[in-house]
Amino acid sequence: MDGVRNIIRKRGSKIGALFFLFLALSISVTAQAGFSKKALSLKVKKSEESITLSWAGRRELTGYQVYRTNASGRNRVKIKTTKKTRVTVTDLKQGKTYYFCVRGCQKKNGKTKYTSYSKIMKVKMPVRGQKSTLKKLLQTALQPVGSTMYVWGGGWNEADTGAGREARTIGVSPKWKQFFQKQTSAYDYRKTRYQIANGLDCSGYIGWCIYNIQNTENGKTGYVMLADQMAENFASRGWGTYTQKGKVKNYRAGDIMSSSGHVYLVVGQCSDGSVVLLHSSPPGVQLAGTPDRNGKSESKAVKLARKYMKKYYPEWYRKYPNCAKGSSYLTQFSQMRWDLSGDAVMTDPEKYRNKTAEQILRDLYST
């Protein structure tokens, strides 16, 4: 510093001031060229279809790495390397929870340094759809019961690629009952194939049910598809959880059950393990029951289905009294069970999920 003072005395105060300015700039540049492992502060913002991640950049960093991870942060997968401080993530599933973190890097002289990983941010994607209840779903599903015939292709469009007009309409089509009233006990669905306005096939029926709880007006996007796709497709929308066939442990109100060639809706399970269900299967839309867990065909579910069909749909029951289905309904179907959490499209204020088939039917037909 004595040398600096001598310079100031000899050259004047202006030169001294310039010297100190140069010294300050040198210190600043040196600091900027430094590196800190301090983690970045990650922020998230979600919309219906995407998540935007952002953070405050640092001058010494030359890039940033964005990771998708799990809750513990041990299973990191890099999804983006960028020089920007904002990334938007798309192709996300409704109702699914995602975890993200970020770290910065500095590439200099052929070497790369990294900051620590940021705090893990948890984001649950919203589920799109109108709120409903398990009771409303079953009440809706009962509307065509006992007055709608099974028609191959019923509920599909003419191109046979998805939902037709009838399956994208609120309420029951009057044509369904008119067609039913013309039929005899000898009804043969093979002779009415693709008379799509006159009834519903199995996936047309389930698609119509879902449309009627998810919409309040006609003509929106429908939900008719191949029967074996329904459970998995609905689960992928964030509506619930999917269980493959062979791994289904029990049956609860509202479960969507899919197999190759058929799909049905669970009303409830009985104490003997048998299941009361709603479906469209020749001759048409009706309540039916499965065997019990020991394979007994005259199960509690079959007796309940027969009781309610006979009492509330006498015209149908006189023509089509069979309410029993085979054991394959308990072994060959995958399952979609509705998510009932606060963010989901389905709720259960009546606690149907905890009730037996008998309790549920009693409540449905008393209100």
Q: Are residues 217 and 111 in the same domain?
A: no
Asked if residue 284 and residue 184 are part of one domain, the reply reads yes
Please report which confidence band the pLDDT of residue 31 belongs to, taking 50, 70 and 90 as the band edges. very low
Is the domain of 142 the same as that of 104?
A: no
Helices (H) and strands (E) counted in the chain, each on its own, are: 10, 18
Q: How many whole angstroms separate alpha carbon 87 and alpha carbon 367?
A: 51
CA Rg value for the chain: 32
pLDDT attached to residue 48: 77
For residue 6, being part of any structural domain is answered with no
User: Higher pLDDT residue, 41 or 238?
Assistant: 41
In a domain, 328, yes or no: yes
pLDDT of residue 90: 93
Do 120 and 252 lie in one domain? The reply is: no
Q: Which residues of 185-221 are buried (b: 16+ CB within 10 A; e: fewer)?
A: eebebeebeebbebbbbbbbbbbbbbbbbbbeeeeee
Q: Are residues 210 and 98 in the same domain?
A: no
| 182 assigned to some structural domain | yes
Phi, psi of 243 (to 5 degrees): -125, 130
* pLDDT tens-digit map of 1-19: 454 444 444 444 554 444 4
Task: Tell me, yes or no, whether 23 lies in a domain.
Answer: no
Is the residue at 170 inside a domain? yes
Structural domain of residue 247, as residue ranges? 132-364
pLDDT in tens, 123-176: 988 776 678 999 999 999 999 999 999 999 999 999 999 999 999 999 999 999
Q: Residue 363 pLDDT more than 50? A: yes
C-alpha to C-alpha distance for 131 and 215, rounded to whole angstroms: 10
Q: Which range (32-36, 213-217, 284-288, 360-364) has the least confidence?
A: 32-36
111 and 144 in a single domain? The answer is no
Q: 14-28, 201-215, 236-250, 305-319 — which is least confidently predicted?
A: 14-28
**Residue 172 DSSP one-character state:** -
Confidence of residue 315 (pLDDT cuts 50, 70, 90): very high
The answer on 203 and 278 residing in a single domain is: yes
Residue 22 has pLDDT above 90, yes or no: no
CATH number, domain at 66? 2.60.40.10
30-34, 102-106, 325-329: which range is least confident on average? 30-34
| pLDDT score for 102 | 97
Q: Is residue 362 pLDDT above 60, yes or no?
A: yes
Task: Let me know whether 173 and 155 are in one domain.
Answer: yes
225 pLDDT more than 90: yes
Domain-located, residue 355: yes
Residue 198, domain member (yes or no):
yes
Domain final residue, candidates 124, 145, 180: 124
Q: Out of 1-5, 195-199, 284-288, 363-367, which region has the weakest mean confidence (pLDDT)?
A: 1-5
**How many domains are there within the chain?**
2
Asked if residue 238 and residue 142 are part of one domain, the reply reads: yes
Residue 33 is predicted with a pLDDT of 52
Looking at the structure, tell me whether residues 158 and 227 fall in a common domain.
Answer: yes
Q: How confident is the model at residue 94 (pLDDT cuts 50, 70, 90)?
A: confident
Q: What is the pLDDT of residue 314?
A: 98
Among residues 72, 105, 124, the one where a domain terminates is 124
Domain membership of residue 11 (yes or no) is: no
What average pLDDT score do residues 321-341 get? 97
220 pLDDT higher than 70: yes
